[in-house]
Amino acid sequence: MTDVRTTLKQGLARLRDEHVSSYTLAAELLLLHVLGRDRTWIYSHPEEEISSTEADRYFALIARRANGEPTQHLTGKQEFWGLEFGVTPDVLIPRPETEHLIEVALDRLAVRELRAGRKQTLTGEGLRIADIGTGSGCIAIALAKELSGATIYATDISSAALAVAKRNAARHAVADRIRFLECNLLDGLIDRAAANANICVVGAQLYPEPERRDAAPLLGKDAPHESPVTSHQSPSFDLIASNPPYIGRREAATLMREVRDHEPEIALYGGEEGYEFYAGLIAQSAAHLKPSGILVLELGHNSLPAVHPLLDAPTWTNVAVTNDLAGIPRVLAAERL
Ligand SMILES: C[S@@+](CC[C@H](N)C(=O)[O-])C[C@H]1O[C@@H](n2cnc3c(N)ncnc32)[C@H](O)[C@@H]1O
């Protein structure tokens, strides 16, 4: 038997000796996870005994953390926008910087509503929103929680990531307002008729909505033949948001091992330079946004010079950059003319 204080001190010392970043926080989070308690309890019960089974579990996790596994992979969760998200090695761990993207998106939508003389309380009634490269679903789900009247489409090329995002949407009770699509960028976004028919496109196949996913694919004679949106069809989105992969492969050696060795490559690397995704994303967004529709993109630390010129007249207006707390240009937003 040992107690909470001693166990925490030992865990913390091990992580500090291994030069783990934010070792105090990591040691605490892992102990909270093992004991199923919150931080207040730990600090108000330092003398509480913990069983040897719990201590063994804790030190096994400490060893994995010391070996480079991210704390979030060990606890299976990360907070974003005040919400708890389940995470696995199949998805990017949501980052605090991405909350700037949510703030910019909500501000832009509010300004648009005011300009149109509509009511100031933004519920997103009737809005259609797309989150491209949804990963854990953090952007789509945060927006769904803020905009109770909006319908959201969330795409990802990774079916494993989409499975995590769907679980998170269910956990936050917004699964009925988010349609998940497995496709490249915006390729699978479908037209209004298909959306109203509650169909989502998964790869090359049409499936019923998630709650009916146990049913067979709807291809074949019974499949509804809705086509993907193409540039000649009426554009249909009020907001497109994306935090695309934006790290350059040439930078891989400079990444922390927690990121380079444990987060999915498909979520990290945009190409050799890092900014390769933006041109396609911006061109497809231009074709899918309504007039006055808003595009909000998260940027890599050095992406701005390559990406800013892509948002040019006559297609785009009101282009603006928002810096993160470290002063790095982090979010680029623009409006479709
Ligand atoms: C940087 S992560 C962002 C995840 C999440 N939106 C967030 O902010 O935490 C990029 C995501 O884009 C997905 N992705 C990569 N290539 C893609 C593509 N060609 N089309 C759609 N999604 C893609 C990855 O699987 C990953 O989930």
- CA-based nearest residue to 229, from 272, 282, 286: 286
d(CA 115, CA 26): 46
Which segment of 27-36, 83-92, 170-179, 227-236 scores lowest on mean pLDDT?
227-236
Residue with tokens 């909350």: 99
d(CA 189, CA 154): 9
Residue nearest to atom 2 of ligand 1 (CA): 267
Residue 27, pLDDT above cutoff 60: yes
Instruction: Say what the pLDDT of residue 183 is.
Output: 96
Residue 236, pLDDT above cutoff 70: yes
Residue nearest to atom 17 of ligand 1 (CA): 157
Whole-Å CA distances, 257 to 79, 146, 266, 324: 21, 34, 16, 23
Q: What is the pLDDT of residues 103-156, one digit of tens each?
A: 999 999 999 988 888 866 789 999 999 999 999 999 999 999 999 999 999 999
The residue that leads in pLDDT, 40 or 117, is 40
Instruction: Say what the pLDDT of residue 169 is.
Output: 98
What is the mean pLDDT of the segment spanning 177-191? 89
Cα(134) to ligand 1 centroid in Å equals: 6
> What residue ranges line ligand 1, CB within 6 angstroms?
91-92, 94, 98, 133-136, 138-139, 155-158, 161, 184-185, 243-245, 266-267
Q: Which two tokens stand for residue 75?
A: 């606890």
Residue with tokens 């996870």: 33
Q: Rounded to two decimals, what is the model's pTM?
A: 0.89
What is the mean pLDDT of the segment spanning 163-185? 97
Q: What is the pLDDT of residues 52-85, one digit of tens each?
A: 999 999 999 999 999 999 999 999 999 999 999 9
Q: Which two tokens stand for residue 296?
A: 């909000």
d(CA 331, CA 337): 19
Q: What is the pLDDT of residues 186-218, one digit of tens each?
A: 998 854 334 443 333 433 333 334 333 333 332
Residue nearest to atom 27 of ligand 1 (CA): 135
- Close Cβ partners of 235 (under 8 Å, ≥ 6 residues apart): 229, 287, 288, 289, 290, 291, 293, 336
Residue nearest to atom 14 of ligand 1 (CA): 133
Average pLDDT, the chain: 88
What is the mean pLDDT of the segment spanning 254-265? 98
Q: Strand, coil or helix: what is 137?
A: coil
Closest ligand 1 atom to residue 101 Cα is: 8
- Close Cβ partners of 163 (under 8 Å, ≥ 6 residues apart): 90
Q: Which residues does residue 329 pair with via DSSP β-bridges, in sequence order? A: 323
